């Protein structure tokens, strides 16, 4: 399969300014994602989409191609991933006259995806003839114990759900999963048809990733935790130590 890997990153970040260029043990978040992507057996090509010259330069330093500058209207807090992916696809088709089988969207804020995770996603995509495969992790708590807090502090909805359970211990509940932001593999034709990543429930799948590889960085505290994990050898860092 021909897979276009698309590394994305805005220059602005309110939660953690300069987030995508922040470093963990001497390597930027951009660098983590780019180095792992290039080691995937299915990475036909790696490009970067960013409004920031610094991010584009850092991505290029780690082997990504810089084909275009992301338009300002796609670099705001309200710009969607759908629009960013479609812009890259439009550029490729208009300027190079080619298409790929699928596009792998990569966000630096989830830096610890490994080459094997990308490979597993592509193999599942092929085996299931999927339109979407995303990275998943186990949730911290079952949805049974989650709900809304009333204006008066009431939690009646949550308690009602709990009373309908045969067992109220966390370990008694079925495992639930959620997206971890590590990878989004979407079919080229499916993205053209639906113009959004999440579109066809019957053709959407996920690969499980453990909690460490699913770390997402949105704040200084997240960055400190991710740094601790790498610096104390809690993850095998070898995929990210290989030069671009």
Contact criterion met (CB below 8 Å) for 162 and 168: yes
Query: Which of 61-70, 85-94, 190-199, 235-244 has the lowest average pLDDT?
Result: 235-244
Going from the C-alpha of 138 to that of each of 45, 51, 142, 212, the distances in angstroms are 30, 33, 9, 11
In percent, the amount of the chain with pLDDT more than 90 equals 85
Query: Which of 2-16, 51-65, 156-170, 208-222 has the lowest average pLDDT?
Result: 156-170
What average pLDDT does range 98-127 have in this prediction? 98
Contact criterion met (CB below 8 Å) for 185 and 203: no
Who has greater pLDDT, 119 or 76? 119
Which tens digit of pLDDT belongs to each residue from 49-95? 999 999 999 999 999 999 999 999 998 888 899 999 999 999 999 99
Q: What is the predicted pLDDT for the residue at 166?
A: 73
* 141 pLDDT higher than 90: no
Q: 3.90.550.10, 3.30.70.270, 3.40.109.10, 3.60.20.10: which CATH number matches 3-139+176-241?
A: 3.90.550.10
Residues in Cβ contact with 96 at an 8 Å cutoff, skipping those fewer than 6 apart:
none
pLDDT band for 14, please (50, 70, 90 cuts).
confident
What average pLDDT does range 192-211 have in this prediction? 98
* 167 pLDDT higher than 70: no
Which tens digit of pLDDT belongs to each residue from 120-132? 999 999 999 999 9
Burial class (CB in 10 A: 0-12, 13-18, 19+), 32: buried
Contact criterion met (CB below 8 Å) for 59 and 20: no
**pTM as predicted:** 0.93
Q: What is the predicted pLDDT for the residue at 65?
A: 98
What average pLDDT does range 108-116 have in this prediction? 98
Q: Dihedrals φ, ψ of 138, to 5°?
A: -70, 140
How high is the mean pLDDT of the chain? Answer: 94
Rounded to whole angstroms, how far apart are CA atoms 194 and 189? 9
Q: What is the predicted pLDDT for the residue at 192?
A: 98
* 171 pLDDT higher than 80: no
* 168 pLDDT higher than 70: no
């Amino acid at each position: 399969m021909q897979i276009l890997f698309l590394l994305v990153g805005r220059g602005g970040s309110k939660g953690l300014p300069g987030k995508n260029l922040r470093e963990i043990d001497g390597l930027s978040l951009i660098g983590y994602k780019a180095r792992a992507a290039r080691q995937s057996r299915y990475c036909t090509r790696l490009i970067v989409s960013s409004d920031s010259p610094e991010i584009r330069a850092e991505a290029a330093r780690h082997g990504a191609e810089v084909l275009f500058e992301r338009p300002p209207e796609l670099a705001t807090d309200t710009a969607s991933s759908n629009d960013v992916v479609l812009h890259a696809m439009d550029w490729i088709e208009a300027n190079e006259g080619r298409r790929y089988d699928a596009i792998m969207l990569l966000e630096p804020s989830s830096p610890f995806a490994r080459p094997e995770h990308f490979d597993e996603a592509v193999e599942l995509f092929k085996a299931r003839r999927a339109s979407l495969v995303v990275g998943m992790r186990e949730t911290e708590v079952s949805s049974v114990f989650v709900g809304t807090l009333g204006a008066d502090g009431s939690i009646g909805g949550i308690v009602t759900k709990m009373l309908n359970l045969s067992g109220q211990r966390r370990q008694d509940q079925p495992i639930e999963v959620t997206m971890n932001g590590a990878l989004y593999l979407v079919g080229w034709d499916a993205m053209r048809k639906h113009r959004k990543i999440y579109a066809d429930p019957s053709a959407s799948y996920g690969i499980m990733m453990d909690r460490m590889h699913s770390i997402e960085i949105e704040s200084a505290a997240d960055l400190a935790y991710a740094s601790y994990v790498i610096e104390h050898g809690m993850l095998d860092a070898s995929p990210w130590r290989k030069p671009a």
